[in-house]
Structure 1
Amino acid sequence: MTTRDAPLPDLDAFASASAALLGLSLDPAWVAPVTANLRVLAAAADLVGGFPLPDEAEAAPVFEA
């Protein structure tokens, strides 16, 4: 089950546009592996986002070195 309300965007276009915004050149041979990674990350985000937390849950502390 997914918590995502909308389908994933065109990840090929997203990867190309993101690379351009970051000033990176993305070899066409790497587009498929990059989009596969984005799909895995979206699935992981769905798992985290779909985990119910009680209202009493407190935010984790932030540690800085």
Structure 2
Amino acid sequence: MADQLDDYVNAAARALELPLDDAWRPAVRANLEVALRLAKLVDDFPLPDDAASAAIYSA
């Protein structure tokens, strides 16, 4: 998965035309790894089929 994350970071930077200094790549990758772990927690959380969506709140 390590190579896939590096490939994704490179592809995203190219697609966004975002210059990415090599010194920042480890930090970008680390943040992506954290975001993916958090997303997996949300995705893996079991919800019953009849769960209702939350109301929309505004301040």
**Stretch deviating more after TM superposition (37-46 or 55-64):** 55-64
When normalised by structure 2's length, the TM-score is 0.83
Q: Percent identity?
A: 44
Structure 2's unaligned 5+ residue stretches are: none
Residue from 33, 40, 46 that aligns with 1:52: 46
- The CA RMSD over aligned residues, in Å, is 2.0
The 1:8–1:53 alpha-carbon spacing in structure 2 relative to 1, beyond 3 Å, is: farther
By how many angstroms is 1:62 displaced? 3.7
Unaligned runs of 5+ in 1: 1-6
Residue 19 of structure 2: aligned partner: 25
**SS state at 1:10 partner:** helix
Identify which of structures 1 and 2 has the higher relative contact order when contacts are C-alpha pairs closer than 8 Å and 6+ apart: 1
Task: Please report how far the alpha carbon of residue 16 of structure 1 lies from its aligned counterpart in structure 2 after TM superposition.
Answer: 1.0
What is the TM-score when the length of structure 1 is the normalising length?
0.76
> How many residues are paired up?
59
